[in-house]
Structure 1
Amino acid sequence: EKPGGIANYIDSPKENGYQSYHVKLLASFGRWQEVHISSERMIRDSQLGCVASRNEDNIWQWIKKFRMVLRDIAARGQEGESFIEEVVRSFYNDDIMTFTPQGKPIVLPQRATVMDFAFEVHTELGLHAKYARINNQLLASVKTRLHRGDIVEVFADPDIHPTDEWLDTALTYKARRAITNYLKQQPRPLYRRCPDCNPMPGEEVIGFKDSDGNITLHKRDCPIAIRLASQKGDNIVSVEFKPDDTLYPVTINIRAVDRYHLLIDLVDCITNDLNLSIDTLHSVSEDAIVTCSITFSVHSFTELQSIMRHISIIPGVDEVKRAMD
C-alpha cells in the first residue's frame, strides 16, 4: 500500500454523489496500481449519475445549480475556452471533503486553498479572510492548499480586502467571481507605475501616455523614461502624483555598530514610534558591525525620508539607505 494512497469516497462522497474506496497497491511487475472498491449500488450510481437515486429533489437541486452557474458565467460575457474553463471549475472532476470546526462539510476541488474554503462558507468571510488554523494545530496563510478531511477555522479582519493577487490563489468559481466583482467596484488608479523604477508620491515623476490613453509614471532619472523621452517626447504628460491611502513597499539598508538592544531599538522605532508594520527583517552581525535590511510600506517618499531620519539618530546607527528597487 502506497503511503497517502488511500481516498475514502464512501464516508466523503464527491459532489455528484460518487462513492468508492480508492487504494494504490504495488503490483508484482513493479508499478503502482489504483484499485477502486465499490458495492453494486455504488457502481450503478456511478454509471447513472445524479438520477441513480431517483430522488427528484436532488436532481432538481443539481440542475438548478447548473443553470445558475451557466447564466452567471454567460452574463459576464465569457466566451470560448474561458467559458468552458469556468464551467469545469464549477463542477469538479475530482473533489475533497473538508470541514468547518462545527463539522459542516465543505466540498472543494483538488488543490483548493484556505481562500476557496472561506468563500464556500460565506462570501463575507472570504472577502476579509486573513489566516486560518488547520486541524486545530497548524497556523496557515489563506494560500495554503487543503487536503481531504482537513478541519479549517478561518479568521477574518475587516481591514483585509481582496487585491488582484488574490486571483492567483483562488481556484473555485465562487471565490473568483466574488473577488472579481469586488475589484470591479473599486476605483481604479489613474496611472500605472513603471515596474523598474517604482515611483511613489513625493518623488519627481513624469508620465508617458500610450496609444490607448493609459499613463505610466516613471522617476525622472529612470533609464526607460530617458529613452522614451528621446524617442516619443510628444507622449510626455504632466502629472500630479499625490499620496492617498495606497501603501508602497520599500526596503532600507542599515549599517550600525553592534551593541546590546540595537535590534530592539530599530524595531521599536518603526513599529511603535512610527506605527508601521514590518514585512521582513534580516540582520547580520560580523566583527561588531551590523548590517540590517528592513522592508515595510509607506504612503509617500516624504514619509520614507522622515522614517529614515528617525532611524539615523538611533545610537550606533551609521548609515541608512533606501535599497535599489
Structure 2
Amino acid sequence: MSVEAVAIDLELEKKEILKRYRKLLASAKPYLRDNDAKLIKQAFLMSVEAHKHMRRKSGEPYIYHPIAVAQICVDEIGLGATSIICALLHDVVEDTEVTLDEISEQFGSKVAKIIDGLTKISGVFEHGSSQQAENFRKMLLTLSDDIRVILIKLADRLHNMRTLTSMARDKQLKISSETFYLYAPLAHRLGLHAIKSELEDLCLKYTEPEAYKEIAKRLKETKASREKFIQNFIRPIDKGLQDMSFKHVIKGRPKSIYSIHNKLKKSNVPFDEIYDLFAVRVILDVPKEQEKAACWAVYSMVTDHYKPNPDRLKDWISNPKSNGYESLHTTVMSSGKKGRWVEVQIRTTRMDEIAEKGFAAHWKYKGNDTRTNKAFESWLSQIREALDSSDKAQQSAVELVDDIRSSLYNEEVFVYTPKGKLIVLKEGATALDFAFEIHTEVGARCIGAKVNNKLVPLSYKLKTGDIIECMTSAKQKPSEDWLGFVVTTKAKSRIKDYIKEANKQHVIVGRDMVEHRLKILGVNVLTLEVTNQLRAYFNAKDANDLFYRFGKGYIQLDELKRWKSDRESHERKQAAKSIQEPLTNTKNLVKELKKLHGDRKDADALLIGEDMDKIDYTLAKCCNPIAGDDVFGFVTINEGIKIHRTSCPNAPELLSRHGDRVLKAVWASKIEMSFVAHLIIKGTDRMGLMNDVTRVISQDLQVNIQNLSIGVKDGIFEGKIALMVNNTGHLEKLVNSLEQVSGVVEIERGE
C-alpha cells in the first residue's frame, strides 16, 4: 500500500470519527445543561489523544469503541452528560498513560470515581481465585455509591458483544460466558429488558452457533406467515381500543432467539409447537392517575375477544418488580382453525420506557412510585451488606459473586410486618430470610414465626400478602442447616459470619493437624501452592473450609497419605511429558503449543488426538465431548487439562469465572478414537420397539452399545443408551436412522 493511500485512509478515519462524535452530541442534546457540551468535547479530545495509536482487533481505530459506548448510554439507556464523559474515558486509565488524578483534575472527583470503578484490577491472583470475580467485586463496591458504573459497564459490554466477530474463538467463548453469567442478569435486575435480551441472544450466537443459526433461520422462514397472523390477531384489539378512545400503539413480535432456545430445551417440543412464541404489546398513552384503570379496562376488552389462560395472568401493575418493571401480562388463545397461544402485554408509555431503559428511565419519574424505589433500595442494601460482610469474613470474590448473582434473576414477594411495613424479598424467601431482613440479631435468635397468626417453621416459604411476626429466644444460635433453606444474600452472609466466628477454633486446630501430619509425610512447609493443591483435591471452597473439615473430623488425616501418593504419581506422569511448565501457567502453555505446532493454522490451540503424548489432557466426563463437537480446554489445578463441550452445563461458570485458564482446542483432522455418546430415546411403547432400536444400532450400523437402560410409564417409552461413536457425523447418521424406527418420537443427546 502506498504512503498516499495510507494518508487518505487516515483522513477518511478522521472524518468518520468526527461524524460519530457529532452524532453523539446531537443525540445527547436534550440531556445537556450549562457547561456539559464543553466538558464532553474535552473528554472526547483526551480520549482521541490517549487512544491515537491503538486499534481494535477488527483493525478499526480504537476511539470508535468509546464513542459507541457513549452512544449506547444516550440512545439505549438514557444517561446524561456525566455518563457520556465517563463512557468516552472508560478505558484510558486501564490502557493508556492517563491517570485518575489527571481525570479528577479536569472533570472532578465524581467522574474519576466512576472511571475507577470501570477500571480492571491488574496484578497476579492467587490460583483458584478469579480475576473476573475480583473485577466484578470492585465494580459492585462502586455500584453501591453510583449505579452509573454498572450502566456504563453494560453499555461497554453490549458494544463488545456486538463486535465480537473479530475476536479469537477462545476469547469469544470467555467473553460470551462471562456476559451470560454476570452481565445479562445485571441488565435484568436493572430493568434493561432490551439490552438483557440482546446480550442473551449474542451469547447464544457465540456459545452455540448452530442452535442460534437454526432458530434465526426458522424465524426468517416464518416471518411472512407470522406477520400475517399477528395482523389478524391485533385487528379486533385495535378496533376495540379505538372504540374506547385510547391513544395507543400495538407492537407484535416473536420472542427473542434465546428465550425460544430455552423453551425448546425445557419443553422438548418442535419449533412449530412452542407455547406463546408470539408476544403482542399494547402501549397506552394515558395520564399517570388513569394508568391502572385503563390497563385493566383493556385487559377486559382483550379477553372479550380471546379466551385467556387463567394460570398465565401476571399483574405487575399492582405489584411492580423491584427493577421498576410494570405491566399486565395475559396469555390468550387465538381464534381460527389452529389456535395458538399469544402473550399480550398491556402497559402505558411511561411503563414501556421503564421496561426498555430500566432505572435510567425510572429516575425520570422518581417520586411517583416509592414502593419500587424502596424495593430497589432493598436490593442495593443487600449488595452493600454482602460486600461489607465479605470484607469482614475474607469471603472469596468467587463466593461473593455467586451469592449476588443468585439475587439477580429472581422475582419478588411483597410481605408485611405486623405494623404494616412493606418488606420486599426475592421469590422463595423464608420466614428466616424475613427475620434477617428485619435485623441481624432477630434473624440470629429466631426460633419460628407467626404468618397470618399461624405458627410456621423457619423454613416456611413466604407468599405475597403474608403478615409475619418473628419469635426469638436468647438461647438460639445460627446453624449450618439454615444455609440449606435461606435464599437472600443478607441472610446467607450473616449466617456464614456467625458460623465462621464459631468455627475459627476448628480451623486453627485443623491447620495444626495438617501441618503436623504433612511433616511426618516429608512435606515440611505448608506453602500456598500445597494448600491450593489440597483445597482442590478435597474439593474445599477455600483454605479455611479445608482446615475446618480436618478440624471437625469430616476428612481423616490418613487421607493426606493418599493425596501425597496421587500427587507423586501425577508429577511422574508430568515429568515424562515434553512440556515441563506447570499447567497452571496458561500463557507459557500457549507459547509451548506455538513452538510445537510451528506455522500450522490454530498453532496456539491444543490439537486433540495428536498432542496426547506431549500434554496431559482428558475429555471431561460432565459433557462427554466427541470428535466434531465445539470444544475448549480448561486448565484445572490438579487434573491437567479437561476438554469440555461449549454447550457443557458447567461451561458458563468455568468460562466466566476463570477465563484466564481457558485454552483453545481443536480436533485433529484424522482422529482415530472412539468416544462414548449418550442418547435419550423417547416414544410410544409397542411390542418389539427395543429390539428394533438395538438392531439398528448393533447390526445395521455396527455400533457398540456400552450401556442400556429402559423404562416404560403409562405407555411412554424412555431409553438411555451409551454407545461408542467416531465423531459427530457418525452420531448424526445413527440418530437419523433411529428416528425412522416406528414409535420413536424424540431423540436427544445426554450428558
Normalised to the residue count of structure 1, the TM-score between the two structures is: 0.51
| Pick aligned residue for 1:42 from 331, 335, 351 | 351
Unaligned 5+ segments in structure 2 are: 1-307, 368-372, 508-515, 519-546, 563-751
Whether the 8 Å CA contact 1:20–1:42 is kept in 2: the answer is: yes
User: CA 1:89–1:152 in structure 2 vs 1: closer, same or farther (change >3 Å)?
Assistant: same
Partner SS state of residue 481, structure 2? helix
Q: Distance in 2 between matches of 1:24 and 1:102?
A: 37
Match of 2:456 in 1: 140
Partner SS state of residue 153, structure 1? strand
Match of 2:103 in 1: none
Amino acid at match of 2:316: Y
User: CA 1:84–1:41 in structure 2 vs 1: closer, same or farther (change >3 Å)?
Assistant: same
User: CA 1:47–1:89 in structure 2 vs 1: closer, same or farther (change >3 Å)?
Assistant: same
Task: Report the CA distance between 1:142 and its aligned residue.
Answer: 0.9
Match of 1:89 in 2: 406
Task: Report the CA distance between 1:187 and its aligned residue.
Answer: 5.0
Task: Report the CA distance between 1:188 and its aligned residue.
Answer: 5.6
Match of 2:420 in 1: 103
Partner SS state of residue 184, structure 1? helix
Amino acid at match of 1:48: K
Amino acid at match of 1:79: A
User: CA 1:118–1:22 in structure 2 vs 1: closer, same or farther (change >3 Å)?
Assistant: farther
Partner SS state of residue 38, structure 1? strand
Q: Distance in 2 between matches of 1:44 and 1:10?
A: 14
Matched, 1:78 2:396: yes
Whether the 8 Å CA contact 2:383–2:404 is kept in 1: the answer is: no
Normalised to the residue count of structure 2, the TM-score between the two structures is: 0.24
CA offset digits 1:181-203 (Å, max 9, x no partner): 11122256759xxxxxxxxxxxx
User: Which of the pair has more CA radius of gyration?
Assistant: 2
| Pick aligned residue for 1:22 from 288, 309, 329 | 329
Q: Distance in 2 between matches of 1:42 and 1:85?
A: 31
Trace 1:98-247 onto structure 2 (pairs within 5 A).
98-136=415-453, 138-187=454-503, 214=551, 216=553
Unaligned 5+ segments in structure 1 are: 192-208, 218-223, 233-325
User: CA 1:96–1:24 in structure 2 vs 1: closer, same or farther (change >3 Å)?
Assistant: farther
Q: Distance in 1 between matches of 2:443 and 2:480?
A: 14
User: CA 1:180–1:101 in structure 2 vs 1: closer, same or farther (change >3 Å)?
Assistant: same
User: CA 1:109–1:130 in structure 2 vs 1: closer, same or farther (change >3 Å)?
Assistant: same
Whether the 8 Å CA contact 1:74–1:83 is kept in 2: the answer is: yes
Task: Report the CA distance between 1:21 and its aligned residue.
Answer: 2.3
Q: Percent identity?
A: 30
Whether the 8 Å CA contact 2:436–2:490 is kept in 1: the answer is: yes
Amino acid at match of 1:13: P
Whether the 8 Å CA contact 1:10–1:20 is kept in 2: the answer is: yes
Match of 1:54 in 2: 364
Task: Report the CA distance between 1:151 and its aligned residue.
Answer: 2.0
Amino acid at match of 2:471: F
CA offset digits 1:233-280 (Å, max 9, x no partner): xxxxxxxxxxxxxxxxxxxxxxxxxxxxxxxxxxxxxxxxxxxxxxxx
Q: Distance in 1 between matches of 2:396 and 2:357?
A: 31
Task: Report the CA distance between 1:14 and its aligned residue.
Answer: 1.6
CA offset digits 1:145-174 (Å, max 9, x no partner): 112222222222222211010110111100
Q: Distance in 2 between matches of 1:139 and 1:20?
A: 35
Partner SS state of residue 406, structure 2? helix
Amino acid at match of 1:128: R
Q: Distance in 1 between matches of 2:503 and 2:386?
A: 28
Matched, 1:10 2:327: no
Q: Distance in 1 between matches of 2:482 and 2:382?
A: 25
Whether the 8 Å CA contact 1:14–1:96 is kept in 2: the answer is: no
User: CA 1:73–1:56 in structure 2 vs 1: closer, same or farther (change >3 Å)?
Assistant: farther
Q: Distance in 2 between matches of 1:188 and 1:17?
A: 42
Task: Report the CA distance between 1:34 and its aligned residue.
Answer: 4.8
Whether the 8 Å CA contact 1:69–1:90 is kept in 2: the answer is: no
Task: Report the CA distance between 1:116 and its aligned residue.
Answer: 0.9
Q: Distance in 2 between matches of 1:68 and 1:54?
A: 24
Q: Distance in 1 between matches of 2:446 and 2:378?
A: 28
Amino acid at match of 1:146: L
Task: Report the CA distance between 1:175 and its aligned residue.
Answer: 0.3
CA offset digits 1:273-310 (Å, max 9, x no partner): xxxxxxxxxxxxxxxxxxxxxxxxxxxxxxxxxxxxxx
Q: Distance in 2 between matches of 1:49 and 1:78?
A: 30
Q: Distance in 1 between matches of 2:410 and 2:379?
A: 17
CA offset digits 1:210-249 (Å, max 9, x no partner): 76764749xxxxxx9xxx8xx99xxxxxxxxxxxxxxxxx
Q: Distance in 1 between matches of 2:382 and 2:468?
A: 27
Whether the 8 Å CA contact 2:330–2:343 is kept in 1: the answer is: yes
User: CA 1:25–1:69 in structure 2 vs 1: closer, same or farther (change >3 Å)?
Assistant: farther
How many pairs does the alignment contain? 204
Q: Distance in 1 between matches of 2:379 and 2:365?
A: 13
Q: Distance in 2 between matches of 1:130 and 1:14?
A: 30
Q: Distance in 2 between matches of 1:215 and 1:2?
A: 54
Whether the 8 Å CA contact 2:389–2:493 is kept in 1: the answer is: no
Match of 1:68 in 2: 384
Partner SS state of residue 419, structure 2? coil
Q: Distance in 2 between matches of 1:78 and 1:6?
A: 41
Match of 1:299 in 2: none
User: CA 1:133–1:70 in structure 2 vs 1: closer, same or farther (change >3 Å)?
Assistant: closer
Partner SS state of residue 364, structure 2? coil
Whether the 8 Å CA contact 1:69–1:87 is kept in 2: the answer is: no
- Provide the aligned C-alpha RMSD in A: 4.0
Q: Distance in 1 between matches of 2:488 and 2:343?
A: 27
Task: Report the CA distance between 1:178 and its aligned residue.
Answer: 0.8
Task: Report the CA distance between 1:61 and its aligned residue.
Answer: 5.8
Whether the 8 Å CA contact 2:389–2:497 is kept in 1: the answer is: no
Task: Report the CA distance between 1:41 and its aligned residue.
Answer: 1.1
Question: Larger RCO: Structure 1 or Structure 2 (Cα < 8 Å, ≥ 6 residues apart)?
Answer: 1
Amino acid at match of 2:320: P
Match of 2:664 in 1: none
Whether the 8 Å CA contact 1:119–1:127 is kept in 2: the answer is: yes
When you count strand as a share of all residues, which structure comes out higher? 1
Match of 1:220 in 2: none
User: CA 1:89–1:190 in structure 2 vs 1: closer, same or farther (change >3 Å)?
Assistant: closer
Whether the 8 Å CA contact 1:14–1:107 is kept in 2: the answer is: no
Whether the 8 Å CA contact 2:414–2:424 is kept in 1: the answer is: yes
Task: Report the CA distance between 1:111 and its aligned residue.
Answer: 1.2
Whether the 8 Å CA contact 2:386–2:490 is kept in 1: the answer is: no
Amino acid at match of 1:108: L
